[in-house]
Structure 1
Amino acid sequence: MKVQLIINRGSGASDRGLNIEEFAKELTKEFAKSGHEVTSHMVPPSSIEQTIRSAMNERPDAIIIGGGDGTVSTAARLLGGSDIALGVLPMGTFNLAARDLGVPLDLSAAIQFLANAEAHQIDVLDVSGHACLCTTILGFYPEFASIFERRDHGGVWWKKTIKLITGVPKIFSHARHLNISWIGPNLIGHAKTKFSAFVPGSYRATAGIVPARTDFNCGTLTGYVGMQKTASSALRGIIDYVLGRHELNPELKVVKASELELRAHRRKHCTIMLDGEIMRLPFPIKLRILPGHLKVLTSSENLRPETEK
């Protein structure tokens, strides 16, 4: 393969002391063993999009992105619909996309994995023009996480997760409900919610504290609309999620569709978290699955539906 490597110098891995230049040399050397040719770019966050566009003009077989989930989401938006495969190096904090695609979190192991990976097509969730690979969250959590991230950028993922979970009761109690409605093909509904998540495919029904996606080629999205009213019920919902039994929670409404339009009573805008990136979108928010829209570097085993594993 001809590969363009693009590393975000503002990633969490950089904050944790990674020597980016030495890391790029290690990757280039490992890829050469498999006959791949690598061109490296190490750029600040403000130059990521332009660098990806320039790299695409070189017509590589793959563009490997080193950064957090926000950087990966930007690359997915630009590469979607092209013949260029996206490779993900886990250099952020939570690295949701890398986990979902089976890329090892250890960077040396990730290099070896990607050097021997194959290109496979997966679905992408279009969220009002933004590409979502993992999850889009509405409600109290994006605003809470935005404040939290400003004071703890680039921390260790499991420590940050524990801090986020323990901070939920207080923040949840003071958060306002979103009175949302949705409409899709042969589908309509509404709910008062403080937390909703929309996923391409669905969440795995397995124990763990970091969300994991499954069903990469099913052509549907899943909405998880929480109807909890108290902090204690929110904590029960979190416990059910951690134990992998979230879809059994009676205060969780599960919606499956190929596309949805979300509206909110008396709200014109909403703060959301899309693959770890905080942004503000106007209502209506339009969600649409794009089947097989993106090529990614992984293995067929990692993309097998959960029911077949």
Structure 2
Amino acid sequence: MRQFIAIVNQESGLAKKSDLAELSTMMRQRMAEYEVTLDVKMTRGAEVESVFQKVIPQKPDGILVAGGDGTVNTAAGMLAGTGIAMGILPMGTFNLAARDHDIPLELDSALTTLARAEPRDIQLMKIGNRPCLCTAIIGFYPKMARMIDEYHGKKWWRKSLRIFGWTVSRFAKSTVYRVTITGTDGEQKVEHQFKSRMLSVVPGAYRDTLGIIPERKQVDRMKATVYVFRHLTRWAMLRGMLSFLLGKSSQDPDMEEVSVTAATLSFQGKKEIKIMIDGEVTQLPSPLKIELIPHALRMLIPNPEV
């Protein structure tokens, strides 16, 4: 039988609403149906990294990470280069990493999917030497993100309107960054200069979809996309938000997309930049280096034929 370890952030949204003993039993029973022995470890968010340090030397066949995107990001950084397959059990707010890699958002289905999944080596993007599985956002959005409560798809239109109103009232007071992007796109050199209140860096690229949660495409291509929001006025911002919600961002004249295989982001007059990486807000020194490391992370990827 295969040996898996599940590390559950008991402070994540779904875990906080569950009986942890029952949750642990259910997880072990579901995996046993597929001849997988599962050791479940419950831990607090601040202790996730230390738990990984203890279990990685055991070299299990896979480690399942149960939590939000911040917990998954920590796991990716710890497991990169170890050869241990990582599986994502979505228990957080937006669960972008699970969505990007076709993991069902319902826990029982996610367990079944991972039990039948195949390990595959994927690229890992780093920004400022920090791993990033989903997206890194600089500027206005990290401040806005602090107001978003647990999501889980419930009443999302009401929450979207709430965020919309807050954005309108605060946007014009946010910092305007003077940004220089230098790097490469394959064999071509890249150099752009912008004024922007917000920009994001994504491994791969987004496709236009209706709603508040973006959907990534080309997850495993060796490119990243820098999305520069050149919306400097409230009117431009309102138009940009509507374009995003309606799935028409590619038609927004103030949205700039820069494709890179490696790049550096420089911010005039800024020694440190507030940045949100996979849902966690931190400060990083400027300039920021973007790099894509091939075959860096082994993941349990759903088999489309099953």
Alignment CA distance shift 1:272-1:235 (3 Å): same
Aligned counterpart for 2:208 among listed residues 205, 210, 220: 205
Question: 8 Å contact 2:103–2:302 — kept in the other structure?
Answer: no
In 2: Cα distance, 1:120 partner to 1:113 partner: 14
Take 1:176 and 1:51, find their aligned partners in 2: how far apart are those partners? 38
Question: Does structure 1 retain, via aligned residues, the 8 Å contact 2:68–2:90?
Answer: yes
What residue is the counterpart of 2:181 in the other structure? Answer: 182
CA-CA distance at 1:245 after TM superposition: 2.5
Task: Return the alpha-carbon distance in structure 2 between the equivalents of residues 73 and 115 of structure 1.
Answer: 21
Corresponding position of 1:132: 132
1:269 aligns with one of 255, 268, 272: 272
Say whether the 8 Å CA contact 1:271–1:278 is kept in structure 2.
yes
Shift of the 162–74 alpha-carbon distance from structure 1 to 2, 3 Å rule, reads: farther
**In 1, distance between residues paired with 2:294 and 2:34?**
31
Normalising by the residue count of structure 1, what TM-score does the alignment of the two structures yield?
0.91
Alignment match, 1:52: 52
Map of 1:6 onto structure 2:
7
In structure 1, the partner of 2:300 is: 297
Q: 2: CA distance between counterparts of 1:300 and 1:117?
A: 5
Contact kept? 1:217, 1:292, Cα under 8 Å: no
Find the aligned partners of 1:56 and 1:291 in 2 and give their Cα distance: 21
Shift of residue 155, structure 1, vs aligned partner: 4.8
Using the TM superposition, give the Cα deviation of residue 161 of structure 1 relative to its aligned residue in structure 2, in angstroms: 4.3
Aligned to 1:26: 26
Shift of 1:300: 4.8
SS of residue paired to 1:235: helix
Structure 2 CA distance for aligned equivalents of residues 299 and 31 of structure 1? 15
The TM-score normalised by the length of structure 2 is 0.92
Q: What do residues 227-272 of structure 1 show as CA deviations (whole Å, max 9, x unaligned)? A: 0111221121122222332122111111001111111111111111
Contact 2:113 2:302 in 1 (8 A): no
Shift of 1:165: 3.1
Distance (whole Å) between structure 2 residues aligned to residue 105 and residue 238 of structure 1: 26
Partner residue of 1:258 out of 241, 258, 261: 261
- RMSD value, Cα: 1.7
| Distance in 1 (alpha carbons) for counterparts of 2:203 and 2:159 | 24
Q: Corresponding residue for 1:306? A: none
Q: CA deviation at 1:292?
A: 2.6
> Higher mean Cα deviation, 154-163 or 235-244?
154-163
CA offset digits 1:79-117 (Å, max 9, x no partner):
112211111111111111111111111112212222212
| Ranges of 4+ aligned residues in structure 1 off by more than 3 Å | 154-157, 159-162
The amino acid of 1:269's aligned partner reads: E
What is the match of residue 170 of structure 2?
171
Q: CA deviation at 1:301?
A: 4.1
Match of 2:286 among 283, 289, 294: 283
- Are 1:217 and 1:291, in contact at CA under 8 Å, matched by a contact in 2? no
The answer to whether the Cα contact below 8 Å between 2:114 and 2:302 also exists between their aligned partners in 1 is: no
Aligned to 1:219: 222
Instruction: Report the CA distance shift for 1:162/1:4 in structure 2 as closer, same or farther (over 3 A).
Output: farther
Instruction: Provide the residue aligned with 1:86 in structure 2.
Output: 86
Which residue of 2 is the match for residue 305 of structure 1? none
C-alpha distance after superposition, 1:276-301 (max 9, x if no partner): 11111110111111123212122254
SS at 1:105 equivalent: coil
Contact 2:62 2:86 in 1 (8 A): yes
Greater shift in the superposed pair: 75-84 or 116-125: 116-125
Is residue 85–residue 119 contact of structure 2 (8 Å, CA) maintained in 1?
Answer: yes
Shift in CA distance, 162/273, structure 1 to aligned 2, threshold 3 Å: farther
2:267 and 2:218 mapped to 1: Cα distance? 29
Identity of aligned residues (%): 33
Q: Cα distance, 1:163 vs. partner?
A: 2.8
* Stretch deviating more after TM superposition (198-207 or 274-283): 198-207
Q: Equivalent residue of 1:81, what SS?
A: coil
Could you tell me how far apart the structure 2 residues matched to 1:155 and 1:217 are?
Answer: 27
Alpha-carbon distance in 2 for matches of 1:278, 1:184: 25
